[in-house]
Chain A
Amino acid sequence: MWQLLLESYWLLLCMGFAMKRQDGMRVLHKVVCSQAVVPEKSALSSNPGVLCHAMDLACVFYLRRVLCLQRSAATTVLLRRHGFPAQMVVGVKQKPFRSHAWVEAGGSIVNDKPYLREIYQELERC
């Protein structure tokens, strides 16, 4: 678990650094899209839940509150590196205007409330 925790923390730092750049959103998008799904599942985890929990713990001990985009981008990359075909989804709702990002794997939301699709309209996925 410590290894997963450190890896998650590192990914959060990378995503945080990417977001700070002037073209941060584009860089983030590119980083996530460029991460291919590793063909074989990692020995460290047998299901996405363990990886998501490691990411949640890393968020708890991060320097500041981790927002949904940074967390979901890092989680997507983490899952793909461990053999899970995850996708980051960005959704919006209109009144009042809100956007949110989450991760889906196998057709289910893995890192957030399961009913988010009822609240937000999907804008893009990568």
Chain B
Amino acid sequence: MLRSPIEEQEMSIILGIANLDNTPIKELELHRFAEHTKTYALDGTFVHAAGSIAMGYQPYHTTVRSQFEVQPWSDDRENILVFDGRLDNHSELAQLLSMENSGNADSLLVLAAFERWGEDCFERLIGDWSLAIWSAAQRALYLARDHAGMRTLFYQLRGRRLVWSTYLETFLQSGEELSLDEEFAARYLGGLPIRTTTPYLGVRAVPPAQFMRFNEWGVRSGCHWNHMVREKLVYKDAGEYDDHFLELLQRSVRRRDTPGSSILAELSGGMDSTGIVCVSDLVRRRNNQEAPLIDTVSLYDSSEPDWNELPYINATEKYRGKTGVHIPTSYLERSFEFLEQSPCFPYPGHDSNARQREEVYEAHIAQDEYRVVLSGIGGDELLGGVPTPYPDLADQLASLHIRTFLKRTVQWCLSSRDAFLPTILRTFRYTFNLYQHPLFESTMVAPWTSHRTYELCADLARDEEKEYARVGYPPSSIGNSRSWLSILETLPHLWPKSTVRREYRYPYLDRDLVEFLFRVPREQLVQPGRRRAMMRRALKSVMPLEVVERRRKGFIGRGPHALIQREQPNINKLLTSPLIESIGLVDVSKLKMILQTICSGNETAWTMAFLRTMAFELWLRADPGHLDRSRYLVAEAFNPLDGANKILTTHAAS
């Protein structure tokens, strides 16, 4: 039982149980299971059981079309579906399936698509979604998520019993103690991507862009979307790229800024969020000049010397003619004092004051009952990211355009004041490193991890590098792939709050837009001395000039250091006999050395990783008994059916 249950839940939940040995399940069993998330089911709980399958749906409507949903759906062939999400191409799908579009719920279209195309239907579903389908003909259960994992979906396979749910809390309420997943701990503390792991051994997330098929003979997974591309678009001139980008961005915003719910847009002052807000205004006012503009919320910290966003926020609001909510924030609001009554979160990452900060945030905005948040996450990485010359130069080198390669090298060197020969050598090295693997370096892992954790991190990083194809792909595509995977780690809905969980929508992660941006030649996105070149050209008439021509991106530099220095006494208390050391995860003496370095005012690259480690310690201490630390195990290879089949993975052809 959580000490501080989530007070208000604003996302639909899908959940279910499947007995893969065909043992029957009663609806009552799933009702008992759904009790654990009933607190959040503001629009009711709907359950359907048939034979060895039981599925549940706890809706929270955020679109007009979601009002048509009657789930779980079951068709004449005894297929059953629960679907959490929104289809953006419902009209096209309905046409292909010869169905009426208006009045038909998205889940009905999905079930019909599965009946028509089987596993191949997942690649045809464009939108934000996660789903569970029982195929009566195959006697198999499918779990799947969209291309970017914009809806969460977790599962646990114990013996022949499969359980899945939108939220992790479901698995914590069963009364059974779960072991800490050492792979998750190693990744979290070592600074590696989390991927599909969760803190709880045996509970995993369905990978984005993949489906998983469970039946009595084993588990198989497959990719329905591949983010790596070989070809690049060749347009007549830069203007064509700009026009196409603007058109796709407008479409993406239109898909997400839908009637049926109250939407709040994050406005940080940066180009990404401002672009979304201004394009939303453009789209809303296109058909109706009097249409209300989207509401915005902005966080700011005036004490940060390099994150002074208020001038840009004010410029955008003046440009739009609408003021949003401004909420002051500061890293110094955090605390590492361990409180006996600390709330417990399913995930680490929260400090002692996290809940209070959420309550302050909600107090500023809650009166308008927002259900959806538009976020600009992903824009930076997809539209050029760090303005480094190497992806561009590597593409020229790999395609043997030597004259262009030399000319662009000089241009980049002039812009960055770098030397010609070293840049060429670094380009060769960058290109070579992209194609060889493993790419693991010891500096990738936090220095205070224990030897065992370090070795585990090294193995995980090397195994991961082997999974991704390189041969035949241009260097910039391999770089894009890495950026894409790092974006998927940062999505805020994956690290949910404890008070209110709104539906997050990410316009820059729209599938059509991403596929376009990955095909745009690098030299269009970033030019020497001009980051975000294409974005600036395309949006210069849509956004205020101050934001379009922002000289550089803001960043938080002072706050984390100041926080650690102030919290040194509390941190020292935590490090007196820390749980993270007693269960063999870190070497506390090295952790204390880093703390000393930071408190002395010296620079280190590990400040944020240090804060994360302390948050992990707080999380372990606040655990109300979900984790059985006495059975702390080294994570074995994932073995779904008592040592039977390995998971077979197939990849979609590019």
Contact = CB atoms under 8 A, between A and B. Distances in A.
Q: Do A and B come from one complex?
A: yes
Interface of A: 56-57, 59-66, 71, 93, 95-97, 113, 115, 119
A96 B225 CA distance: 42
A30 B187 CA distance: 53
B90 interface: no
A64 to B, nearest CB: 6
Interface stretch (B139-147, B260-268, B358-366, B412-420): B412-420
B603 A57 contact: no
B557 A96 contact: yes
Contacts of A60: 410, 413-414, 417-420
B558 interface: yes
Given A66-B417, A66-B419, A119-B306, 18 more contacts: A56-B417, A57-B414, A60-B410, A60-B414, A60-B419, A63-B419, A63-B421, A64-B419, A64-B422, A65-B417, A65-B419, A65-B422, A93-B305, A95-B558, A95-B561, A95-B601, A96-B557, A97-B603
A22 B558 CA distance: 34
A62 B551 CA distance: 28
Contacts of A113: 551
B551 A65 contact: no
Nearest to A62: B419
A63 B418 CA distance: 10
A25 to B, nearest CB: 21
Contacts of A95: 305, 557-558, 561, 601
A97 B419 CA distance: 25
A108 to B, nearest CB: 16
A64 B425 CA distance: 12
A4 to B, nearest CB: 15
Top 7 A-B residue pairs of the complex, sorted by shortest distance between their CB atoms: A60-B413, A96-B603, A65-B419, A95-B558, A60-B420, A62-B419, A56-B414
B420 A61 contact: yes
Interface in B557-589: 557-558, 561
A59 B561 contact: no
B525 to A, nearest CB: 21
Contacts of A96: 557, 561, 603
Contacts of B603: 96-97
Nearest to A93: B305
A26 to B, nearest CB: 25
Nearest to B604: A96
Contacts of A56: 414, 417
Interface string B613-634: 0000000000000000000000
A59 B410 CA distance: 11
A71 B418 CA distance: 11
B241 to A, nearest CB: 27
A62 B421 CA distance: 9
Given A95-B557, A96-B603, A97-B603, A65 B418 contact: yes
A96 B306 CA distance: 11
A61 B419 contact: yes
Contacts of A61: 419-420
Contacts of B422: 64-65
Nearest to B415: A56
A35 B417 CA distance: 24
16 contacts: A57-B414, A59-B419, A60-B413, A60-B414, A60-B417, A60-B418, A61-B419, A61-B420, A64-B419, A65-B422, A66-B417, A71-B417, A93-B305, A95-B305, A95-B561, A115-B551
Contacts of A93: 305
A71 B603 CA distance: 26
Contacts of A57: 414
Nearest to A55: B417
A115 B410 CA distance: 25
A59 B412 CA distance: 12
Nearest to B306: A119
A56 B558 CA distance: 33
A59 B417 CA distance: 7
Interface string B301-319: 0000110000000000000
Nearest to A96: B603
B546 to A, nearest CB: 13
Nearest to A97: B603
Contacts of B414: 56-57, 60
Contacts of A65: 417-419, 422
Interface in B400-451: 410, 413-414, 417-422
Contacts of A119: 306
Nearest to B410: A60
A119 B555 CA distance: 13
A62 B603 CA distance: 30
Contacts of B305: 93, 95
Contacts of B601: 95, 97
Interface string B524-565: 000000000000000000000000000100000110010000
A27 B378 CA distance: 49
B336 to A, nearest CB: 20
B51 to A, nearest CB: 62
A113 B421 CA distance: 24
A115 B552 CA distance: 11
A113 B416 CA distance: 11
Interface in B369-426: 410, 413-414, 417-422
Nearest to A95: B558
A57 B421 CA distance: 13
B346 to A, nearest CB: 34
Among A60, A65, A66, A115, the most chain B Cβ lie within 10 Å of the Cβ of A60
A66 B557 CA distance: 26
A65 B603 CA distance: 23
B418 to A, nearest CB: 6
B571 to A, nearest CB: 19
A61 B557 CA distance: 34
A62 B413 CA distance: 11
Nearest to A56: B414
B165 to A, nearest CB: 43
Most B CB within 10 A of own CB, among A56, A62, A66: A62
A13 B366 CA distance: 64
Contacts of B561: 95-96
A60 B418 CA distance: 6
B577 to A, nearest CB: 32
Contacts of A59: 413, 417, 419
Nearest to A67: B417
A95 B561 CA distance: 9
